[in-house]
Amino acid sequence: MPRLLATSTLSRAALLAGLVLAMPAVASPDLDDWNAVRDAARGQTVYWNAWGGDTRTNDYIDWVAERMAEEHDIDVVHVKVDDTSTAVSRVLAEKSAGNVTDGSIDLIWINGENFAAMKEHDLLYGPFAEALPHFALTRPDANPEMVTDFTLPTEGYESPWGKAQITFYYDSEEVATPPASIEALLDWAEAHPGRFTYPRIPDFTGSTFLKQALIALTDEREALYAPVAESDFEAVTAPLWDYLDALHPHLWRSGRQFPSSGPELRSLMGDGELALAFTFYPSEPAAAVADYELPESTRSYVLDEGTLGNVHFVAIPFNSPHKAGALVLADFLLSPKAQAHKQDIDVWGDRTVLDVAHLDADTQALFEVDDSNPAMLPADALQKTLPEPHPSWMTALQDAWLERYVDE
């Protein structure tokens, strides 16, 4: 689910969009009549733009497509993207060109700064989330993260479908006591040169590591939860750059090269090149052990202070020509069947957004976790979840990192 915002591309398209006069909206389904929505969806083809950088994720989406075809007569086409911002830019370009009824995207896997950009430029259809029959199972009143995206209220323009949180993992045959804080990680890296690294920015896993470190290191944490323009960026982030300057010489390949993504980071662990790594999917290490991609000596943990976590969503562009199909797909993604299948470590291992404790007993049983896998986190390990900063910080940190470590 890469989230880099291509600011220059969007800025140019935004100027063009500003020249477009009031345009007719695409006819919308009647959200008060779900049976009518289902009927309208039959026979539609839904083009779902979603990150395609991991085999497990792609296989899960293939499973979803099979179920949608069998159960709803909807053809789901997974349009694999490396960077979600390209899909956002496409929708904005279509609006700029006056295409308000026949867009090329029906559903987007999205959150963070990309959601903020689409909302700012009126590129989203909705509000629709509360009309989805399965949305109530998330119990948003008790779980505000289901209606909040990087500090921004979703206002019904996104539907949640998964949860992510930074989880560290290590080879217990090589690492006796893993570092329990960002500060201790630097000491560990100095003592074990070349055995840790993070993905190259702007990869979303690498960018999330920057935010995790910044939250731990800055004395102005509250500034991270307001737009970056309202703070002194250089002052707030100075401790982060000092930290990375000290860390990089001790990384894999001395920080001169970085893996391209979380999956590549996992491969380096599997090949024995690293002894310590991290992921944004808490069940990934256990799933990789089960698939013989990581050794049985792999163990998972979170930092003592907690780790950064968020909910990922799907949204419908304003000019989707297949809104009924997109709505039925978004609702299916929230169904207990789809959520339980997604959480299965033999499938993907992505955490559910449903409030499992309030489901009936038979449905709860679908979500029982097999804790016999030694790489699986304890059930209560993810209780310390650090909230995401305002979306503007992601882009600012990415730009500053590239300028400091690539464009120098």
Chain segment 383-400, per-residue pLDDT in tens = 889 999 999 999 999 999
Q: Tokens for 288, please give them.
A: 């990789």
Q: Report the distance separating Cα 274 and Cα 391, nearest Å.
A: 31
CA distances from 51 to 55, 86, 110, 203, 317 (A): 11, 11, 9, 12, 17
pLDDT tens profile 107-165:
999 999 999 999 999 999 999 999 999 999 999 999 999 999 999 999 999 999 999 99
All structural domains of the chain, each given as residue ranges with its CATH number in brackets, are 7-162+311-372 (3.40.190.10), 165-309+387-405 (3.40.190.10)
| Cβ neighbours, 10 Å, residue 234 | 9
Q: What is the pLDDT of residue 25?
A: 47
Q: Answer whether residue 190 shows pLDDT above 70.
A: yes
Q: Report the distance separating Cα 228 and Cα 236, nearest Å.
A: 10
**What one-letter code names the amino acid at 292?**
Y
pLDDT tens profile 345-369:
889 989 999 999 999 999 999 998 8
pLDDT tens profile 44-79:
999 999 999 889 999 999 999 999 999 999 999 999
Q: Report the distance separating Cα 38 and Cα 36, nearest Å.
A: 5
pLDDT confidence of 380, banded at 50, 70, 90?
confident
Task: Kindly tell me the sign of the dihedral angle through the C-alpha atoms of 226, 227, 228, 232.
Answer: negative
CA distances from 362 to 205, 343, 358, 365, 369 (A): 35, 16, 11, 5, 14
Regarding pTM above 0.85, the answer is yes
